[in-house]
Structure 1
Amino acid sequence: MKTIAEINQRIANGSVVVLTAEEMVRLVRAEGPAAAARTVDVVTTGTFGPMCSSGVYLNLGHSRPRIKAGGGSCTINNVPCYTGFAAVDVMLGATALPEDDPRNRDYPGEFRYGGGHVIHDLVAGREVTLTVRGYGTDCYPRRELTTRIKLSQVNEAVLFNPRNAYQNYNVAVNLSDRTLHTYLGVLRPNMGNANYCSAGQLSPLLKDPHYRTIGVGTKIFLGGGIGYVAWSGTQHNP
């Protein structure tokens, strides 16, 4: 069995053998897991998919004069953030919607812009409009602030996602006689289609169903950066 130190040495001297996850699946199928493990040093495993239980918490930094968002209100591009924290800590959920979004009043709704779009705009380096309203204190006398900000200008921004992967959350069909509009897309009646959202054979939880390699503290890539598994995700049921 190769050690991490040995693999790092191979990376350093250029002799490392690297496969993508899809290539590794094919190699294991052809030669078996033991032979594949002997041959390959590194497997790249990044996948991409949407997940509604996602968000970002921001420490906005202090304005002059200071304003207390905690207990007040905050929007970014008119999308509300949760402010029940300290003075300039806010949480933006991916499914948050502007107050004036028609939602499903004109069914089915279009949901053109929400929290996920704000997060995308921030990561893309775009300017967004921040509006904060507070009740004012001696320490934080300002009561209202509207300004333009970029991700690079906030004090801290951390993606924190209560749930990001599933073992049993893959396919949706519609057995009824009417069209259903769901968060997995439009489902046609009488099993007219099937919508799915899964990394399939590349899914980390499907590849490791008993959590032998994945757990609290496991290092991951998240949104292009280094992250960690913080805890079991919401609705986790071993």
Structure 2
Amino acid sequence: MAKTIAQINEKIKAGKVVVVTAEAFTRMAKERDLASLADEVDIVTTATFGPMCSSGAIINFGHWSPGIRMEEITLNGVSAYEGLAAVDTYIGATSESKFDPTYGGANVIEDLIAGKDVRLHARGKGTDCYPTKEIDTWINKETVNEFYLFNPRNAYQNYAAATNSTNRIKYTYMGSLLPRLSNITYSTSGELSPLLNDPYLRTIGLGTRIFLGGSVGYVAWNGTQFNTRRERNEHGIPKLPGATLALIGDAKEMSTDYIRSAYYEKYGVSMFVGVGIPIPVLDERMAEHLAISNDQIETTILDYGQEGHPALGSVTYAQLASGSVTMGDGKVVKTAPLSSVAKAREIADLLATWIKEKRFYLSEPVQMFPQDSFVKPLVPREGGVQ
């Protein structure tokens, strides 16, 4: 029998809700029929923990006396955006320090979440209302007003695996890719991954309450490069990057257990973000999607050594997780994940606990996502408006 989010929330309130992780649900579906599972299980928790470069934080420092209109801002030597109001900024996770390329915005965000002091240096031209021209001081998450994550593109619905056919190492955001197809890297938590368990986004939309970085967060918008026109397999899973989420949450309440900085050799800084999304088991069709297993989820192997990253074939997450993949020519290639399935399991378990303890309720999306969106390339052209 079909259920609603309101009915499931009443079960949470009454202490009668049945919550399992996506991996547990997949195991249950191998032994039980989906109709009975859809009736018995109310919520399936999904999660991922991996590098998400399109992330950052909004910070309001509070006003200096006399005031300053900040027009050049650095935090621990990392440039932050100056084009907001006088003492607001946005620091992107991949912004790099002027002094140390291995330290960047993600490190600043992690340091602030950890409660550390961060050096703020700012300059301005000086105005009648904001006469101060330069400040040099220290901040932490207790001294600032707002400090919240706003991540424009997180939790990709699938992501291509990467390899390299050239004769030299390629240093990329997918890690170091060895010459002559000697390794394959990938960065999705497979059957635990949120958007792979709700491939048509029936339950996830604007306003969906989620786990973000160790605290409660929300889906703020569809993420950048949101693409629902991808080719899908028989289980509804796109074989290349599909939907994405823009996420928001109070960084003051987050934990460095679930927000971590990272540095990729000769590429730059990124940030690992922990995301957990509870998916209500509304009906048997939803149960069918939630029963997805790694051997049913395919992704595409792209050659990052060649222009345009041509596809070299498809592979399942079961094959990737096995530690090696046999290519079409019979070559056995080692595989390595960039995301942490162990951490994703931890998040899924923690979110399930929050729900059972009545600390986390589901939310109805206030608007659903577009179903016919695609990604346009940047094409060189001359002239102005046409």
Q: TM-score, normalised by structure 2?
A: 0.55
Q: Percent identity between the aligned chains?
A: 54
Tell me by how many angstroms 1:6 deviates. 4.3
Distance 1:158 1:123 in 2: 10
Residues 197-216 of structure 1: per-residue CA shift (max 9 Å, x gap): 11211222222222222223
Flag structure 1 segments of 5+ consecutive residues without an equivalent. 102-110
Which stretch shifts more, 20-29 or 192-201? 20-29
Tell me by how many angstroms 1:9 deviates. 4.2
Match of 1:42 in 2: 43
Structure 1 residue 76 and structure 2 residue 66: aligned? no
Aligned CA distance change for structure 1 residues 222 and 38 (closer, same or farther; 3 Å): same
Q: Equivalent residue of 1:145, what SS?
A: strand
Structure 1 residue 28 and structure 2 residue 18: aligned? no
Match of 1:222 in 2: 212
Aligned Cα RMSD in Å?
A: 1.8
Distance 2:6 2:58 in 1: 35
Tell me by how many angstroms 1:157 deviates. 1.4
Structure 1 residue 161 and structure 2 residue 151: aligned? yes
Structure showing greater relative contact order (alpha-carbon pairs closer than 8 Å, 6 or more residues apart): 2
Amino acid at match of 2:169: T
Preserved CA contact (<8 Å) 2:96 2:102: no
Aligned CA distance change for structure 1 residues 32 and 47 (closer, same or farther; 3 Å): farther
Match of 2:90 in 1: 91
Amino acid at match of 1:137: T
Amino acid at match of 1:224: G
Residues 59-102 of structure 1: per-residue CA shift (max 9 Å, x gap): 11111221111xx111111111001111111010000001234x
Alignment of 1:1-238 (within 5 A): 1-69=2-70, 72-101=71-100, 111-238=101-228
Amino acid at match of 2:60: N
Preserved CA contact (<8 Å) 2:157 2:196: yes
Tell me by how many angstroms 1:36 deviates. 1.7
Amino acid at match of 2:215: G
Q: Equivalent residue of 2:171, what SS?
A: strand
Preserved CA contact (<8 Å) 2:69 2:86: yes
Which stretch shifts more, 58-67 or 9-18? 9-18
Q: Which has the higher strand share?
A: 2
Distance 1:53 1:206 in 2: 20
Flag structure 2 segments of 5+ consecutive residues without an equivalent. 229-386
Preserved CA contact (<8 Å) 2:52 2:154: yes
Preserved CA contact (<8 Å) 2:76 2:120: yes
Amino acid at match of 2:37: A
Distance 2:3 2:158 in 1: 33
